[in-house]
Amino acid sequence: MDAPTQAPVPPAGASSSTPPAGPPAPADPRAVRRAAWAGLIGTALEQYDFVIYGTASALVFGTLFFPNASPAAALLASFAAYAVGFAARPLGGLFFSRYGDRLGRKWVLVTTLFLMGGSTFAIGLLPTYGQVGILAPALLVFCRFFQGFGAGAEQSGGATLLTETAAPGRRGRLAALVMTGAALGTLLGALAWILVQLLPEEDLMSYGWRLVFASSLLVTVAAVIIRRKLNESPVFQELKREHEAPKSPVKEVFRHGRKPMLLVLFMNVGISSQSYTYQVFMASYLISSVGIDPTFVPKVLMIGAACGGVAAIGFGFLSDKLGRRPVYSAIVAALVLLPGPTFIALNTGSPVAITVAMIIGFVLAGQGAVGVQMSYFPELFGTRYRYAGVTLGREFSSVLGGGVAPLICASLLTAFSGSWIPVAAYMMLMMAVSLVAARMAPETLDRDLTVVPDATGAGAAIAAAPVTAAGGDPATATAGKDTR
């Protein structure tokens, strides 16, 4: 971190003999590289798990776990089970947020890896409906719940760690590596399905799909090896040295940080909705409505993800140069207008038009906007409950957005006799909400992350409170320049 331009001012009630705390020393380049790799690989696992599950929902789960339903009902049931994972995410966020701001970012990031990877591996071992009846979809939902529970603090944790570790002027591009990891996970998930689709149909439905889920074990092991060598962020280390880690970060968010948390929620709800519409619903739409060969879908997802991963870093770099707010607002505004042209391109049936439309969707909604979020959202919060605030805002919005988006889109398509217009209107409406929230958010570029107040001005009451014993609610605050 850069040194502040003025000496810290002791908070009210603090002893004048107590030396004020300065900002943490900047992390060495090796620590930054480890944090970057840890965020990238961990999010790759999370996205890999979700992509292989979402693709399986569109391709095989209807037949394997809901065989007695009509094709449309089986698809709805598969997407409903998919939504369960998103419903579990805020619960996981609530649980792990208590520890991310108390025990550290690293502890949570390692724990969530085991939970996500283990749940995904277990799905590959499940019996099908033909083997055990109604128990099969029940077990599928159970595994999906814990998969989402573990993912509830994953991206937010990686983003917080990287943003707190990177130097000002480089936070945007480095934190965006988390979404490059998400793109890598999508690419690997699509590649896994491409490989198993080379099997005969009978083998794919008997054991091929299981190999896809079993492969998550390899990604989990690689991620754990990298994260074991991870350092805590300098900001959190300073928080522990000053004995300011809060007893209840979640309670502090709801008491002092509601405004930035709600901004995060509404800024993300439309992005989450469109992102998972492109990544999950579009796969089933291309197969069932457009009539595209199912083997084409993983290929176009893989191409889109590769382009999205590059775009995440590019938009993160732009946000370091131009500011978080203008770059994010421009992306969201473009996404308000995108759904109509996307469906027009998809319905041409042209592989080239479909590929271009999906690439644009991934570049903007899938990774581009979220790449900017990775630094923007942590910078909105003060130091004491940053992890909890980002996690709760993002994960509650993921339920309202991405969790139900494929289900709502499939329901609208069924209710309106296959018309894509209501689906596009839903996508535009959700994105308009995020655009309004983005215009209400402050600029946070290069904000001092060691200060207690939020970028919105919330949390000032904590900063002005007397110093208490370690772990108490009130905390000291260092003065810092807040770039708006």
pLDDT recorded at residue 406 = 84
Look at residue 21 and tell me whether its pLDDT is greater than 80: no
Summarised one tens digit per residue, pLDDT across range 334-351 is: 999 999 999 999 999 999
Judge contact between 44 and 221, C-beta under 8 A: no
Mean pLDDT, rounded, of the chain = 80
3-12, 70-79, 144-153, 448-457: the lowest-pLDDT one = 3-12
Fold exhibited by the domain 29-233+240-461: Growth Hormone; Chain: A; (1.20.1250)
pLDDT recorded at residue 395 = 83
Mean pLDDT to the nearest integer, 40-51: 77
- Cα gap 72→83, rounded to integer Å: 16
pLDDT recorded at residue 7 = 39
Cα three-residue angle 287-283-66, rounded to 5 degrees: 75
Residue at token pair 């979404």: 179
pLDDT recorded at residue 435 = 97
Confidence band, pLDDT 50/70/90 cuts, at residue 385: confident
pLDDT recorded at residue 458 = 60
| Helix (H/G/I), strand (E/B), else coil: 377 | helix
Of residues 419 and 33, the one with the higher pLDDT is 419
Largest pairwise CA distance in the chain:
77
SS (H, E, C) 81-135: HHHHHHHHHHHHHHHHHHHHCCCCHHHHHHHHHHHHHHHHHHHCCCCCHHHHCCH
- pLDDT > 90: percent of the chain: 30
62-66, 259-263, 409-413: the lowest-pLDDT one = 62-66
Residue at token pair 């271009």: 356
Q: Which two tokens stand for residue 292?
A: 């595209």
**CA-closest candidate to residue 430, choices 412, 442, 417, 454:** 412
pLDDT recorded at residue 235 = 65
Residue at token pair 């979020």: 373
Mean pLDDT to the nearest integer, 413-434: 94
pLDDT recorded at residue 360 = 94
pLDDT recorded at residue 339 = 95
Look at residue 218 and tell me whether its pLDDT is greater than 60: yes
* Cβ neighbours of residue 80 closer than 8 Å, sequence gap 6 or more: 407
Confidence band, pLDDT 50/70/90 cuts, at residue 49: confident
**Range with top average pLDDT, 18-32, 152-166, 299-313:** 299-313
pLDDT recorded at residue 321 = 95
Mean pLDDT to the nearest integer, 376-391: 89
63-77, 222-236, 381-395: the lowest-pLDDT one = 222-236
pLDDT recorded at residue 229 = 65
**CA-closest candidate to residue 457, choices 476, 444, 467:** 444
Which whole-number Å values give the CA distances from 82 to 71, 89, 151, 163, 362, in the listed order?
A: 16, 12, 13, 30, 20
Confidence band, pLDDT 50/70/90 cuts, at residue 147: confident
Alpha helices (runs of H) in 384-443, residue ranges in sequence order: 386-398, 405-415, 421-440
pLDDT recorded at residue 302 = 85
pLDDT recorded at residue 234 = 64
Mean pLDDT to the nearest integer, 402-431: 91
Mean pLDDT to the nearest integer, 127-138: 89
pLDDT recorded at residue 36 = 75
pLDDT recorded at residue 253 = 87
Mean pLDDT to the nearest integer, 37-47: 75
Summarised one tens digit per residue, pLDDT across range 434-449 is: 999 999 999 999 898 8
Mean pLDDT to the nearest integer, 387-395: 87
pLDDT recorded at residue 403 = 75
Summarised one tens digit per residue, pLDDT across range 94-109 is: 787 766 656 666 667 7
pLDDT recorded at residue 428 = 96
pLDDT recorded at residue 246 = 58
Q: Which two tokens stand for residue 399?
A: 């339920």
Look at residue 376 and tell me whether its pLDDT is greater than 90: yes
Mean pLDDT to the nearest integer, 470-481: 40
- Cα gap 444→205, rounded to integer Å: 50
Cα dihedral: 150, 84, 340, 335 (round 10): -30
Mean pLDDT to the nearest integer, 373-384: 91
